[in-house]
Amino acid sequence: MHPQTMIGEVKEMTGVKDQGRCGSCYVFFAVACIESMHAIRHGELRDLSVQQVISCTYNNPNHGCESGWSDKVIAYFMNHTIASWEDYPYTVYNKEPIPPCEEKPGVTKVDNLDQVAKNEETMKQTLFTNGPLVVYIDAEPLKMYQGGIIHSAFNNFTHAVTVVGYGTDTEDHWVVKNSWGTG
């Protein structure tokens, strides 16, 4: 996408990461939102730990590399500080066994969890007031993605992504950050 087609995008955003074979998208995008909120509020962009919440919410309430919910990740960080990626690195790229939860120095904490109405204008306003949004989509159209705008009803929610912007090139569209690497 060419920058001139963007109406708006979140500037306070870490780079794209790769979840590997682990089904941990629900963590990557909750943490991406927390990273951006931290940068917006504190002026410091940091890569925060995905592994911490995979280990510390495993089987209660999330399921490690098998599935989980981003709202449960954010709820966890309302009661616990989140460590940096450097202090608590991602170790389950190839679905290795989930290591036990460890206490590490924290970088930030979440104050609240807000759900946004399924209204595009409200989503746009929230995006630029508070930072990126976690949304659930049907990942099937992404598997063969070559570029451009995907048109899908997204009725089968199988994957989480982060909405980081929107544009109006030839038609209105959302810009998302995925966790399948940069290639």
Q: Is residue 25 among the annotated active site residues?
A: yes
Q: Collect all residues with Cβ–Cβ distance below 8 Å to 97 and sequence separation of at least 6.
A: none
Q: Where are the beta strands (DSSP E) in the chain?
A: 6-9, 133-137, 159-167, 173-177
Per annotation, catalytic residue among 22, 38, 56, 159? 159
Per annotation, catalytic residue among 25, 33, 56, 65? 25
Q: Is residue 159 among the annotated active site residues?
A: yes
Q: Collect all residues with Cβ–Cβ distance below 8 Å to 107 and sequence separation of at least 6.
A: 38, 46, 48, 81, 82, 83, 84
Q: Collect all residues with Cβ–Cβ distance below 8 Å to 27 and sequence separation of at least 6.
A: 50, 53, 54, 62, 68, 70, 73
| Catalytic (active-site) positions | 25, 159
